[in-house]
Amino acid sequence: MKLTNKLNLPLPLYRAVEWQNAHHSVGKADLSCTQLIDAPLIAWLRRQYGDQLEEDVSERLWPLYGTLMHSILEEFAAAGEHVETEAIAEVDGFRISGHIDLVVTADGLLQDYKFTSSWTVKSAKTEGKVEWDRQLNVYRFLLENAIEGSGIPHLPKI
């Protein structure tokens, strides 16, 4: 994917988004949770035509804000709170990965931070956000079926 800067945002912002894009990968997995819950056609189109796609830095600011906040929140995790936990599970020969924002091992609580507009939050409170529910459900599955070396051992089942 080609990154553009049509609004001439400061170059450090451009480089930060460029870094973020380079460091968000599926790692040792075949698919990420996000790719799994996305529409299959979108995933296929990205694989086939990803080198022809363009996205402007201005369209990547919300995810960048989220990355910044994750970095801050990681500094304040207490004992039994696992931040940015990667879990990988194998399903029918495919490895699926997810990076869970917060897992509290005492009660098995999962949290995924969302940094979005107030309009999205208002809409989600009244209409729900099915993709957010799907994401947490996949994370729970990944944690409960994590391959060795990923996830959190001895996580309480719910």
The chain-wide mean pLDDT, for the chain, equals: 89
> How is 18-52 classified by DSSP, letter by letter?
HHHHHH---TTSSEEHHHHHS-HHHHHHHHHHGGG
Q: How many CB atoms lie within 10 A of CB 86?
A: 16
Supply the DSSP symbol for 98: E
d(CA 46, CA 87): 24
pLDDT category at 108 given cuts 50, 70, 90 is confident
- For residue 87, the cross-strand partners are 98
User: What interhelical angle do 11-23 and 61-74 show, nearest 10?
Assistant: 70
d(CA 125, CA 43): 28
d(CA 98, CA 31): 9
Mean pLDDT along residues 119-131: 92
pLDDT category at 154 given cuts 50, 70, 90 is low
Residue 81: phi and psi, rounded to 5, are -110, 115
d(CA 30, CA 43): 12
Kindly report the pTM of this predicted structure. Answer: 0.84
